[in-house]
Amino acid sequence: MLNRKPKPKRTTMSLNTQLIGFYTLVRKETVRIIRIWPQTILPSVITTTLYFLIFGQFIGNRIGSFDGYNYIEFIIPGLIMMPMITTSYTNVSSSFFSAKFQRNIEELLVSPLHNHLLIIGYLSGGIIRSIIVGTLVTIISMIFSPITFHNPLIVILCASLTSILFSIAGFINGIYARKFDDIAIIPTFLLTPLIYLGGVFYSIKILPPFWQSISLFNPILYLVNIFRYGCLGISDINITTALLIMIIIIGLLWTTILILIKKGIGIRT
């Protein structure tokens, strides 16, 4: 009687507890985005619309075309990527840091929620916000120039990889941030320059050979070109190579997060 094995039902209850905790975290992140939509959704949409108007309509007519496409058609894929990158990054970094600052992250750490589900729960906010913004920007872009997707599957895959990659990067920023100013440092001094130098407004083919080689170290270049290929069928780099590089980077960053969470770096005091 004393050596009786635990009943399998206990494992089921543990799984249900995990799923309830995960659902609650995802719901919290989603409600947060929707509740304050004038801060989470509207600014990115308005800013990108101005890019369409200024660079596409006013300046684009003077520039001409790239690879057989009007300038506005050429930059639309990159302009859709821009807000998806920034919103996914800032959403996760600010949300996770707020949990640290308010000291409620400790409640999640002592809960039965598995680290994988904890991470995915926070990433879900960045991914959902990124997809919403990307969808709205895509709809608005059709006002300025019709989009005929060359490969819809590549478009969906690239949008998903972009949201996941920069949500993970934002999570790492949130872990290391010690004050609210630390959240703005990376987007301002690293992320923004990488976006503008990532082939959003130009093709790297027009650059000198040295700067073409330097540009290949910019991960955003690969994402922009993958998305541009999905929309227009043109790219400055090999799509298979670009997808492989993005998947490898995501895998490395995911492993980094797991190690940081397990060791409690930037979380435990």
Say what the pTM is: 0.88
Report which DSSP code applies to 59. Answer: I
How many CB atoms lie under 10 A from the CB of residue 204? Answer: 19
Q: Report the candidate in 144, 188, 126 with the shortest Cα–Cα distance to residue 51.
A: 144
Which residues are paired to 70 by β-bridges? 65
123 pLDDT band, cuts 50/70/90, is very high
pLDDT, one tens digit per residue, over 158-215 is 999 999 999 999 999 999 988 888 888 888 888 999 999 999 999 998 899 999 999 9
**For the packed helices 9-35 and 115-144, what is the interaxial angle rounded to 10 degrees?**
40
- Convert 242-256 to b/e letters by CB count within 10 Å (16 or more is b): bbebbeebbeebbee
CA distance 134 to 159: 8
Token code pair at residue 144:
């300025």
Contact assessment for residue 76 and residue 147, using Cβ atoms and an 8 Å cutoff: yes
Mean pLDDT score of the chain: 87
228 pLDDT band, cuts 50/70/90, is very high
pLDDT of residue 208: 92
CA distance to 163, 179, 260, per residue, from 102 (Å): 26, 12, 20
Helices marked H in the chain: 9-35, 37-40, 42-51, 60-63, 71-101, 105-109, 115-144, 152-176, 180-186, 192-196, 209-215, 219-232, 239-263
Mean pLDDT of 15-29: 86
Mean pLDDT of 61-89: 88
Mean pLDDT of 129-144: 94
CA distance 17 to 218: 41
CA distance 74 to 65: 8
Token code pair at residue 236:
């400055």
